[in-house]
Amino acid sequence: MSKQEAIRNAARAVKAHGLTLPVDLEKQIAGLENPQYRVAVVGEYQVGKSTLINRVFLGDKPLLSEGRGLCTTAVATDIEYASSPILEVYDWTDTSRTGETLAKTIPNPTEDDVNDVTVSSAMETRAELAKKRARVAVKVPNEALRGFTVVDTPGLDDPNQELLLDTTWRIIPTADVALLVVRGDKTLGDRERGLLRKEIMGRNGISRLMVLASFNPKTMNQDQEERKDILRTIKADLTNMGRDNIPVEMYCFDSSVEDIMSDVAEIRMTIRQFLADNALPGREEKIANLLRVELEKDLAGIATKLATAGKSDAERAALAARVETEVARFKEQAELAFERFQDEVSALNDDIKRDVNLAVDAVFDKFYAEFSEKEDVDAMKKVLERASTTLRSDLQDKVSIIALKLKSDVNRLIDRYAKNMDECRKPWNVFISDELKIEKPIAAKVPTLVIKAIEVALLNVILPFGWITAIIAKMLLGENFSPAEWGVKKLILSQVKKGLEEAKPNVSTQVMKQVNDGIEKTFVDVKAAMEVYNKAQVEAIRSALAASPAESADRAALESAKADLESALAAL
């Protein structure tokens, strides 16, 4: 059975037994027929999102503003195919922002027309614009858009978080796939990691994504080897997050750069191939995940009604009180288990610090040993010019090994924590199994599915190497050195050694800050997962217990519904 067949069968099973699905989910299932896939283009501001859309999807008539240097976009923009160019502006119908209305249309729009309805440089005006405007649709006769709606979003680092809630964070769950555009001269930052960890890659979010590193040779001076290092580090980052299936490409729009994609046709073909391979599976996976949640809730409600069939009001009230007692008991025990987990992870700190110090020493000592072998000042200068890149690359290699070891250690503790959680759940599981006949509760998933995706943020270390190079270069340029004079070389070696020794503790401190920040983030994620451990099922049980006894009267119908929904859930 295909994924689509399983989805449709599950939806039919729900309806056949008088149950309902959320309206949005119904629309998504209906959208599997002749789908118009949604592609969210996300990233920080000024990374090249609009330029990419203009060149790849709008081509003949770029309409999105590029390179203004400020956070200006306040409204998400849909870019779609149409037989003739038109701009459609949709406003919210009311303050609840649940419906939209077509406010105006502009035929043959210009870039200024699009800017007038989506952009503002004033913070207050931008916020008001985001509250008022639901979206803007730019429709053009470009074949590259057939079958897709490409959505341009405000930058992830927009200082107005309320605006992001109205736009980017609202758009992401509606997309089938995403293109994450990042700068081509650095590795993934915290916002981009956070997006990959939660908003995009969560259980009900987007499962298919491509990372596109935008390189601009006019503003970025990295050479071919440095570009390779950046790509390698981004891929290592994704692997450490458990996202090694995400493709990564670097591109620019300058044909003189030959080691990365630099031809618009090639960039367009690469993106279209990714969309062709992933848009449908992405939509199916997202819908299937949403359906599983609904089926699990319905099954919990049905099982509860079966368990209360024939019981008196007093018996039902006593059962409801037991539910609340067991939930409270579980939460209390789970809190203690979490605190033990916290203590065990924190105890790893001393070993990590030792490993980091050894790594920094080894990298710096290796650099100095190779530097000291150079025979003349010119050769030394060339080494110093690349000092920042060399030191950073070598240290990242060693830090990635530390990160993997730490991840392994933390996951070992997570497994122990999960076992402790199993012990905490036993009374609850026994209760709902014996009293309510729910054999596979949602609570059994607390919260290992979330915390197994742990990422320790080590690879984006900002290392203070630039000032070392600057000091040495200034010293060399200020004197008329003779390469043959050993005293000069000795002086240079002395200064470099001093600079490296002074930098070691600073670098170690920064790496450890990354480690501790990553661990703290893990604690936050685990805590959040624990606190919402089985809310959906508990609410379903509470709702079923509050229903009238008549709803539990037809035992045969409930048994049939339970069997059908269990079968549908297994097929998903």
Q: If we measure between CA atoms, which residue out of 207, 158, 215 comes closest to residue 181?
A: 215
Separation of alpha carbons 95 and 78, rounded Å: 22
- Ranking 329-333, 370-374, 476-480, 552-556 by mean pLDDT, the lowest is 476-480
How far apart are alpha carbons 550 and 568 in whole angstroms?
A: 26
* C-beta contacts of 418-422 below 8 A and 24+ residues apart: 418/448, 420/337, 420/340, 420/341, 421/334, 421/337, 421/446, 421/447, 421/448, 421/530
- Mean pLDDT computed over 374-388: 76
How high is the mean pLDDT of the chain? 80
| Rounded-to-integer distance, Cα 563 and Cα 559, Å | 6
Residue 304 near residue 545, CB atoms below 8 Å: yes
Is the confidence at residue 502, as pLDDT, over 50?
Answer: yes
DSSP 452: T
User: Residue 226: CA atoms inside 13 Å, Cβ hemisphere, count?
Assistant: 17
Q: Which helix (H) or strand (E) segment is 389 a member of?
A: helix 387-434
150 backbone dihedrals φ, ψ, rounded to 5° = -95, 125
The domains of the chain, with CATH numbers, are 36-291 (3.40.50.300), 327-544 (no CATH)
Q: Write the CA distances from 47 to 70, 120, 182, 282, 318, integer angstroms.
A: 12, 19, 6, 25, 59
- Decide: residue 146, CB within 10 A, 0-12 exposed, 13-18 middle, 19+ buried: exposed
| Element holding 111 (H helix, E strand) | helix 111-118
Instruction: Give the HSE-up count for residue 366: Cα atoms under 13 Å, Cβ half-sphere.
Output: 13
pLDDT digits (tens, 9 = 90+) for 17-45: 888 998 888 988 988 888 889 999 988 87
C-alpha 337/C-alpha 91 separation (Å) is 48
pLDDT (tens digit, 9 = 90+) per residue, 317-350? Answer: 898 999 899 888 988 888 898 899 889 988 988 8
> Count of CB atoms within 10 A of residue 47's CB?
23
Give the pLDDT band (50/70/90) at residue 13.
Answer: very high
**pLDDT of 276 over the 90 cut:** yes
